[in-house]
Amino acid sequence: ILKLPLAGSTMVAALAAAFISGLLRVFVAARFLGLILHTIAGIVGGRGEYYNALTTVTYAMVAPVAGILVAAVLSFIPVVGVVVGVIVLALTLGHGLGMLYKSTKELYAIDMVSTLVVISALTIAVIGAVWLAAILNITSVGSFTSFVPGR
């Protein structure tokens, strides 16, 4: 059916490594986003613990992760699968963002405007950090050897 360069136990090992690596990345990302959310919500005046931020972020990640899984499976269906996958992704990403907004509002006991400020600040912080890391990586300013004299 699918001709892949890996075969047998090598294929299983590669898939297991990819799964564990992805799981670890999502785990670290959830902790990181929870910390940022907790910090921003505390500054805005929210009354909540770090656990509330972790619950908020984890709860909001469930629908998009399921949508990505379904869209990946649908992408194997020619033409129609990609279109349906885009629709599924749009629905699940919207659902995840709605859950992030609503659970932040409820768990931190803040009003709608403050929740909007928290979510906007979180989005700007994450996009800005990823953008800056990409720029530093592209220009090689982020490497230690660029600061060493004589190199």
| DSSP per-residue string spanning 118-147 | HHHHHHHHHHHHHHHHHHHHHHTTTSGGGT
C-alpha to C-alpha distance for 55 and 148, rounded to whole angstroms: 43
Spatial separation of the C-alpha atoms in residues 100 and 57, rounded to whole Å: 7
Tell me whether residue 66 is exposed, middle or buried, using C-beta atoms within 10 angstroms of its C-beta: 0 to 12, 13 to 18, 19 or more.
Answer: middle
Predicted confidence at residue 111, as pLDDT, reads 93
The answer to whether the beta carbons of residues 42 and 58 sit under 8 Å apart is no
Does residue 38 carry a pLDDT above 60?
yes
Per DSSP, 151 falls in state -
pLDDT of residue 118: 94
Q: What is the pLDDT of residues 104-116, one digit of tens each?
A: 999 999 999 999 9
6 pLDDT more than 70? no
Contacts of 107 (CB under 8 A, 6+ apart): 48, 52, 53, 55, 56
* Amino acid of residue 44: V
d(CA 74, CA 41): 37
Which comes out higher in pLDDT, residue 52 or 137? 52
